[in-house]
Amino acid sequence: MDIDKMLKAIEHDAGQKIPGLAESLAEAKAGKIGRAHTPEQILLKSARKALKFSQPQFADWIGTPVGTLRDWEQGRFPVPGAVMRLLQIAINHPEVAQEA
pLDDT of 57 reads 93
Residue 69 domain-assigned?
yes
Average pLDDT value for residue range 75-93: 88
Residue 71 domain-assigned?
yes
Quote the number of domains for the chain: 1
Predicted confidence band at 100 (pLDDT cuts at 50, 70, 90)?
low
CA dihedral (83, 73, 49, 24) in degrees, to 10, reads: -110
Domain that holds residue 44: 39-99
Task: Say if residue 97's pLDDT is above 80.
Answer: no
pLDDT of 72 reads 92
CA distances from 36 to 42, 85, 86, 99 (A): 10, 22, 23, 33
CATH number, residue 74: 1.10.260
Task: Say if residue 42's pLDDT is above 80.
Answer: yes
Distance in Å from the first CA to the final CA of the chain: 41
Q: Average per-residue pLDDT in the chain? A: 87
Contact in structure between 51 and 33 (CB atoms under 8 Å): no
